[in-house]
């Protein structure tokens, strides 16, 4: 589960013992999460050789409670604007790129069309704008071919 909040970005997964592993790209995100919503969260571990360089562990109930509290604390009408005010333009720009990438969910290529391709077939070093232009064209080509 990916979670974007005012206190940070997190990837949460269950580990074999049933606990939730909360991973982050930025240590400060986990520190803010612990301070604001998860005081019982375990020690933050540095894992620089892993995909996410920081992680900590909580029970499922603790994670669910934190998500509930995060939801209750929503006090803004535009998330990206709020990130600018709380974390600055650098993070806001990253979140805008995520938002732009997720626009692909609105294209025909991602709405159930079976073209035999996987996400890794689209992973490139293109800018979001270049990628979007290419994927949009491929979606249009698929629609034309389907007609």
pLDDT digits (tens, 9 = 90+) for 7-26: 999 999 999 999 999 999 99
Find out whether 42 and 56 touch, Cβ atoms under 8 Å.
yes
How close are the terminal C-alpha atoms of the chain, in Å? 36
pTM as predicted: 0.73
pLDDT digits (tens, 9 = 90+) for 92-137: 999 988 888 887 777 655 555 555 565 555 555 666 667 667 766 6
pLDDT digits (tens, 9 = 90+) for 57-74: 999 999 999 999 999 999
Q: What is the pLDDT of residue 104?
A: 75
Given a cut of 80, whether residue 147 has pLDDT beyond it is no
Q: What is the pLDDT of residue 139?
A: 56
- Cα angle 90-23-40, degrees, rounded to a multiple of 5: 110
Beta-carbon count within 10 A of 38 CB: 20
Given a cut of 70, whether residue 56 has pLDDT beyond it is yes
d(CA 74, CA 7): 11
Given a cut of 70, whether residue 141 has pLDDT beyond it is no
């Amino acid at each position: 589960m990916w979670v974007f909040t005012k206190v940070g970005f997190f990837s949460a997964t269950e580990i074999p013992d049933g606990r939730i592993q909360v991973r982050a790209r930025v240590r400060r995100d986990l520190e803010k999460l612990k301070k604001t919503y998860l005081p019982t969260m375990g020690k933050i571990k540095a894992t620089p050789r892993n995909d996410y360089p920081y992680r900590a562990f909580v029970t499922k109930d603790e994670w669910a409670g934190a998500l509930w509290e995060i939801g209750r604390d929503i006090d803004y009408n535009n998330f990206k604007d709020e990130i600018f005010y709380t974390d600055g333009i650098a993070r806001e720009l990253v979140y805008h790129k995520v938002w732009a990438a997720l626009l692909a969910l609105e294209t025909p290529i991602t709405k159930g069309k079976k073209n035999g391709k996987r996400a890794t077939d689209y992973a490139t070093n293109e800018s979001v704008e270049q990628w979007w232009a290419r994927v949009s064209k491929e979606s249009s080509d698929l629609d034309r071919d389907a007609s």
